[in-house]
A and B are shown apart, each in its own frame.
Chain A
Amino acid sequence: MSKKLLKWNEDRTLFPEKNSEGKIDVDYDSHKFMKIWHGPQHPGITGNMSLELTLLGDEVMDCETHVGYLHRGFEKLMERRKYIQCFPIVCRVAVPEPDFNEYCFASAMEELAGIEVPEAAEWLRTLVLEMSRLQSFLAWIGGQAGSLGQGIIGQWTIYLRDLILDRFEELTGGRIYHMYMLPGGVRGLLPDGFRERMTQNLDDIDKFMKDVKKVMFDNYVFKKRTVGMGVIDPAWINPFGITGPNARAAGVAKDVRKDNPYLKYPELDFEPVVGKDSDIYTRADVRRRDLLMTVDLIRQIMAKIPDKGDIRAKTPNVLHWKVPAGETYSRAECTRGEYGYYMVSDGTEYPRRINVRGPSYTHAVALLEKMIVNANIADVAGLMVSLHTYPPEIER
């Protein structure tokens, strides 16, 4: 590979020699190595997970990801709840972006039960998913800038995210957890005046994002710290199961919305955002452009969404809803990549097994452990945030 994976000090004379596999043997008794826990109680960690770093000087020699601090056993809990009782807990799987859980759960169930969702409900679902993507991207940009020392971006984008959360509150009644997409439809139509307020918010976001571009992406320090850092080789994409913006930054146009279109995406006009260099800067830039594309998509949806119409399909009594036996997999494109639910039903009122495929699962464990070797300790937080991982969806 032509580009260096990470930059380090060229003078390697003081370093121990590599063994036949090209790795350095870690020997703690030589007093050259040091073990440091990065998290879980650490301000530079994304959520509640930890990295066990082995350092030589300030360079990471070895890394092991530890997850499981947020394990609630959702897949077990769902097995002993009826389908409709599962519905309030699925959104708690991924905290900052709950709507994708609701959509995947509802659509897997509808597919097994053979229910057609009314058109107005499909439009509303598309809107909610895109709003959810937007707020998640906004939270992420603040995190990425904050991890590299630019606190002000976080102050702006969390404010912008609050605007979207207000719209969520208006539409669904909840700020974080919405429980809006019931199996068979959605819970309500657009409130009066929602469009005007949403348009106003989108204009604000557009305006602020210009400033964010100026302060963050054109910033010399930010560029210096991120260009050429943390490169994902395009050859890793399939072995590591990389999806979403991490893959698109490497030049692979993977986007579930285009590949396996769902809801109303075939009627919307968009192209997957693709980057080239696959370093931290490109990943951040791909996400920024993706965010602007999402703003554009919400505008398109607002122009097409019907004000009236049927929003609930006819379903059996939800308390005694026996979903026919079968298994299926439903997926959607969230901000981090492919989100999916694998559902197995055995024909009773309780699901047999539900498995959640969170994109962070592969990004945060196998990929991060590989990428982080030879990084500088100061870049660990930035590198980790640039993969956009959310621990709750790894361990569920």
Chain B
Amino acid sequence: MQTIIENLQKHFQVVSYHQQRENLGFLIASKEVAVGLITHLRDYEGFAHLVLLTAVDWIEDEHFQLTYLLHHPEKKVDLGVRVMISRENAEMYSIHHLWEQARTYQRELREMFGINFPGSPDVDKPFILEGWEEIPPYRRDFDTKEYSEKTYFPRPGRETHDPAEYMKKKLYPNE
């Protein structure tokens, strides 16, 4: 694992590297070099299998983190490439030409986070939701409980009480 990272640092500017466990590491790359770095990892280092592509919403820092998790079938190691992109006008270069399955992931991210991947086939087609009019649901500022209560006629009876207060009121109503 260490040799792969040292090799990488000769060619690319890797911001930081963090070894999570023996066979799993995460590195941070900038948005511009990310696709080149992933292509290099796939073609020269042998990370041939894209395990997943997902996003994390860091709303406090105003950015999305995209994680490309790659797996090396021979060395049996995983490498996560983290890319930070801005939350406003979120956009990332597409990798559908590297892995066919990436277009499905990108369609999902487009719908659930509102991250655009220009050039990815069918990226604007609805994938999971149908007729969705609110902000993309996986963003942190979307409140699912409030939306559900507003929309889906909640059945009365599902209240939460602070147990200490509730029992006190119930057992000693006069105090």
In the bound complex, how far is the Cα of B58 from the Cα of A181, in angstroms?
30
Asked if B78 contacts A329 (CB within 8 A), the reply is: yes
In the bound complex, how far is the Cα of B26 from the Cα of A329, in angstroms?
10
A interface, size bucket: 35 or more
- Which residues from B are CB-within-8-Å of A327? 20, 26, 67, 80
In the bound complex, how far is the Cα of B74 from the Cα of A238, in angstroms?
13
Asked if A73 contacts B144 (CB within 8 A), the reply is: yes
B104 CB–A CB distance under 8 Å:
yes
Mask of B97-137 contacts with A, CB within 8 angstroms, 1/0: 00111011000000000000000000000111110000001
Asked if A77 contacts B101 (CB within 8 A), the reply is: no
Asked if A353 contacts B21 (CB within 8 A), the reply is: no
B57 CB–A CB distance under 8 Å:
yes
Asked if A362 contacts B104 (CB within 8 A), the reply is: yes
Shortest beta-carbon distance from B81 to chain A in Å: 12
A75 CB–B CB distance under 8 Å:
yes
How many residue pairs link A and B with beta carbons under 8 A? The number is 87
In the bound complex, how far is the Cα of B78 from the Cα of A338, in angstroms?
13
Asked if B145 contacts A357 (CB within 8 A), the reply is: no
Asked if A342 contacts B130 (CB within 8 A), the reply is: no
Mask of B122-161 contacts with A, CB within 8 angstroms, 1/0: 0000111110000001101010110000000000000000
Asked if B69 contacts A329 (CB within 8 A), the reply is: yes
What does DSSP make chain A's interface, helix, strand, loop or mixed?
mixed
Asked if B26 contacts A68 (CB within 8 A), the reply is: no
User: How many residues of chain B get a CB closer than 8 Å to chain A's CBs?
Assistant: 35
CB contact between A329 and one of B51, B56, B73, B99 (< 8 Å): that residue: B51
A340 CB–B CB distance under 8 Å:
yes
Asked if A355 contacts B51 (CB within 8 A), the reply is: no
Q: Which residues A136-194 have CB closer than 8 A to chain B? A: none
B83 CB–A CB distance under 8 Å:
no
Asked if A80 contacts B52 (CB within 8 A), the reply is: no
Asked if A71 contacts B128 (CB within 8 A), the reply is: yes
Asked if A241 contacts B50 (CB within 8 A), the reply is: yes
Asked if A239 contacts B127 (CB within 8 A), the reply is: no
Residues of A within 8 A of B (CB): 67-68, 71, 73, 75-77, 79-80, 111, 236, 238-241, 254, 259-260, 326-329, 331, 338, 340, 342, 344, 352-353, 355, 357, 361-362, 365-367, 370, 395
